[in-house]
Amino acid sequence: MTSALVLYGVLVAVVLLAPLRWSLIAYLVLTTIDLGSMNADIGLLNTAKAVLLPLYFLWRLRDYAGHGRVIVAPIAWGLLTLYAAIAGSWSLYPMFALKLVGHMIALFLICMVFMRAAKAGYLTPNVVLPVAAGALLLAALRSILAPSFGGEVERFKSFSSAQSFAAFLVALYSIALCTKFPRLAVRLPLCGILMAALLFDGSRLWMLGLVLSTIVALLISNAATWFKVCMVGISVVVLTLGIAETDLVLNVLAREASSNRIVAAIVAGYRGDSKSYGLGTYRFRREIDLRAIDAIGNSSIRDLAFGHGTSNSAELAGGLARNPDPNRIMHNEWLRVPYEWGIPGAFLWLTFFASITLYAVQGVRSDQAWYSKPLLVYLPAFLLGLAGENIIAGAGNGVSAGFLLLVAFSCESHRVPLRLKNTTAQLHISHAAA
C-alpha cells in the first residue's frame, strides 16, 4: 500500500506542476492506480482523482471551452444520471446511490477535460507511447515492490484490478493499431508489447475483446481486399488445424495452465472442469448474472417500469459475498442498468451507446487522419467488456479513462471537416469582397 501511495503522490505532483501536456499524460497513468473504498465513504484520494483534478484541468483548459454541435450521447448520459438520482430515492443503500451518481457526474467532467485537451492539441495519438510506458512501468513496480497489492499475485497489473488494467491496455492497443502517429515502426512493436502485457494480465474477456478489435481494424482498414481475404483464410486454416489436433494442442496448453489464467480457462473449458482456477471468477459472475436475469424476468410491472432502485444490485449477492460493495458487486452493466433503473434506464443506456457508435462511424467516414478509428475499433471490445467490468462506478479508473480518451480523439474527426468548411467559407467571402 505504501508503494501505491508514494507513486500516487508523485503522479499528482506532476499533474499539478508540470506543463499541460505532461500533466495530462501523468493523469492518464494515474488512472491505473485504484485506491478505492469498499464502503459508502467518499475517500479523499478517489475524490481527488475523479473530481478535484478534472476540475483543476477544466480551469487550466478554460480557454478551450465549447465543442461544436451537440450530439445525443451527452444528453442521454445526463438524463441517465438524473434518473439514477431519482431511483436512489427508493434505494436500500442511499449513500451508495449518492456515491454512484457522483461517479456518473465525474465521468462527464473527465470527458470534458479530454475533449478540451484534444481540441487544444495537448492530447493527440502520440501520447500512446509515454502513457503505455508509464502504465507498464507501474505494473512492473507493482510486481516487484508490492506483488500482493489487491491480491492476484500471479497477474501482471498495475495498482488496480486486473480487469481495469486490461481494459486500459486494449484502449492503448486500439490507438497504436489504428492511428497514423507515432510512426509505424514504433506502433507495431508497441502493439506486440501491449498484447504480451494483456496475456500476462490474464483477462479472458479483454483478450477476446482485443481479438474482436483487431478483426474490426482489419475490416475497416485501407488494406487491399486480397490481403483481407488472405488473413481471414489463414485464420480459418489455423482454427481448423487447432480443432483437428485438439488433443495435441490441449496437451501443450496444459503445461502452461498453471501459470496463465487465459490458458487455464481454455483447458478447463474443454475438459468441463468448472472448478479450475482459470474459471474461478467466471463461476461467481455467472451466478450473479443468472440471478439478475431471473430477478428481471420475475419483476413486477412497477419494477420493470421504474427499476429496483440505484445500487440495489447488492440484494442479488446474498450468500455469494460478504459485505459486498453495492456499486461494484454487479459486474455486468448490461444487466445492472435494467435491473436498477428499469425501462427508462435501459432506453437511455442504449441510446447513449447507439449515439457514440454512430458518432464514431461518421468520424471515420469524414476524417482521413483516422482520429475516430481507435474508438470504432475499441467499441466491440468495450461493449463486450461491460459484461464483466464496471464503468458506471469507475470514474477515474482505467476502464473509463481509456474509453473517454478515445471519445475525445473522435471529436477531432468531426472538428477537422468543420474547420475546413469554415476556412472555405472565409475564402469565398474574401473573394467576394475583393
Residue type, 24: L
Q: How far apart are CA 316 and CA 318, in angstroms?
A: 6
pLDDT the model gives residue 322: 76
Residue with cell 482485443: 210
The predicted model gives 331-335 an average pLDDT of: 92
pLDDT band at 271 (very low <50, low <70, confident <90, very high): very low
Q: How far apart are CA 97 and CA 268, in angstroms?
A: 38
Q: Which residues, including other chains, have CB under 8 Å from residue 11's CB and lie 6 or more apart?
A: 26, 27, 29, 30, 33
- CA nearest to 296, candidates 315, 323, 277, 319: 315
HSE at residue 138, side-chain half, CA atoms within 13 A, is 30
pLDDT digits (tens, 9 = 90+) for 390-408: 889 989 999 999 999 999 9
pLDDT digits (tens, 9 = 90+) for 187-238: 999 999 999 999 888 888 899 999 999 999 988 887 777 776 777 677 666 6
Q: Is a pLDDT exceeding 80 seen at residue 260?
A: no
Q: Are 106 and 395 in contact (CB under 8 A)?
A: yes
Of the listed ranges 231-245, 277-291, 360-374, the least confidently predicted one is: 231-245
For the entire predicted model, the pTM comes to 0.88
pLDDT band at 103 (very low <50, low <70, confident <90, very high): very high
Q: Are 374 and 220 in contact (CB under 8 A)?
A: no
The predicted model gives 70-78 an average pLDDT of: 93
Q: How far apart are CA 337 and CA 357, in angstroms?
A: 19
- CA nearest to 311, candidates 333, 327, 296, 324: 327
pLDDT digits (tens, 9 = 90+) for 402-430: 999 999 999 988 876 544 444 443 434 44
Cell numbers given for 333: 452493466
CA Rg value for the chain: 22
pLDDT the model gives residue 423: 40
Burial group, residue 431, by CB count within 10 angstroms (0-12, 13-18, 19+) = exposed
The predicted model gives 2-24 an average pLDDT of: 94
Q: Three-state DSSP class for 348?
A: helix
Taking phi over 0 as left and psi of -120 to 50 as alpha, with beta for the rest, 152 belongs to left
Q: How far apart are CA 364 and CA 221, in angstroms?
A: 10
Q: How far apart are CA 264 and CA 243, in angstroms?
A: 18
Strands, E, within 169-216: which ranges? none
Q: Average per-residue pLDDT in the chain? A: 84
CB atoms within 10 A of CB 397: 28
The predicted model gives 63-85 an average pLDDT of: 90
pLDDT the model gives residue 263: 53
Domain parsing of the chain, residue ranges? 2-433
Q: How far apart are CA 175 and CA 404, in angstroms?
A: 13
Q: At what angle do helices 2-17 and 53-60 cross, to 10 degrees?
A: 20
Q: Three-state DSSP class for 192?
A: helix
The predicted model gives 173-196 an average pLDDT of: 91
pLDDT the model gives residue 369: 73
Percent of the chain whose pLDDT exceeds 90: 58
Residue type, 308: H
pLDDT digits (tens, 9 = 90+) for 284-327: 788 899 999 999 999 999 999 999 999 999 999 877 777 788 88
Residue type, 288: I
Q: Are 292 and 330 in contact (CB under 8 A)?
A: yes
Q: How far apart are CA 152 and CA 374, in angstroms?
A: 30
CB atoms within 10 A of CB 365: 11
pLDDT band at 137 (very low <50, low <70, confident <90, very high): very high
Q: How far apart are CA 302 and CA 183, in angstroms?
A: 56
